Chain A
Amino acid sequence: AQSVTQPDIHITVSEGASLELRCNYSYGATPYLFWYVQSPGQGLQLLLKYFSGDTLVQGIKGFEAEFKRSQSSFNLRKPSVHWSDAAEYFCAVGAKSGSGNTGKLIFGQGTTLQVKP
């Protein structure tokens, strides 16, 4: 079955430090991959997505993610974290059935990012 795992439930980094949030997926083919951010009490904001092509994807707010097929990973990175990046981050994969894509998304459990001043 398709699944997404975010191994880190909670991460704390200092402001200005680099950030990497991990995402591993279980999937039988080239997946559609997404990263979302959610501030407390707010909805989901799409940071970036990968469908095909260049495995390094640039997103909004200075985030990037790299698709590594050999490791089944799609880790999110940012070179310098700002206090406003404190939020919950979700990785998701597009679900497939026997007849192909379904449009449904399978989400990871989420990683809460805390930023120390």
Chain B
Amino acid sequence: NAGVTQTPKFRVLKTGQSMTLLCAQDMNHEYMYWYRQDPGMGLRLIHYSVGEGTTAKGEVPDGYNVSRLKKQNFLLGLESAAPSQTSVYFCASSYTRNPSGEYFGAGTRLSVL
């Protein structure tokens, strides 16, 4: 069992470039989440999904899009990256709507120049 795997681990983009972050889980979890972490602000929810084919906005969704075409994968897209999107991104998953808090990816460090 790999748990929650994030790809890539590091990335540097130029302003205006696009990219997709991949989150994959092998635990058959229904719920998946994307958070961003910024200094002094903890983690904030970007988007989440309560099942295959469904997505919803979180606290800070602007500038991001997501897709959940397969149950095990949750993709986070930046269509036109901005320096304000420089952050560490964490993916999480949960089997039910009762949060276990246990399943987080290792994070993706993104710098937008």
Which A residues have a C-beta under 8 Å from some C-beta of B?
A: 4, 9, 32, 34, 36, 42-44, 46, 49, 51, 90, 92, 94, 100-110
Could you write out 13 A-B pairs with CB less than 8 Å apart? A46-B101, A51-B98, A90-B42, A92-B101, A101-B99, A103-B97, A103-B99, A104-B45, A104-B48, A104-B58, A104-B99, A105-B92, A107-B44
- Nearest CB of chain B from residue A44's CB, rounded to whole Å: 5
Chain B contacts to A: CB under 8 angstroms: 31, 33, 35, 40-45, 48, 50, 58, 90, 92, 94, 96-102, 104-107
Interface of A is mostly: strand
Residues in B with CB closer than 8 Å to A51 are: 98
**CB-based nearest A residue for B4:** A43
**Nearest residue, chain B, Cβ from A48:** B101
Contact B40 A49 (CB under 8 A): no
Could you say which residues of chain A place their CB within 8 Å of the CB of B104?
43-44
* A49-B101 in contact (CB<8A): yes
- Find out whether the CB atom of B41 lies under 8 angstroms from the CB atom of A105: no
A101→B40 CA distance, assembly (Å):
26
Inter-chain contacts of B92 with A (CB < 8 A): 105
CB-CB under 8 A from B35, the residues of chain A are: 105, 107
Minimum CB–CB distance from A26 to chain B (whole Å) comes to 15
Contact (Cβ within 8 A) A101 B43: no
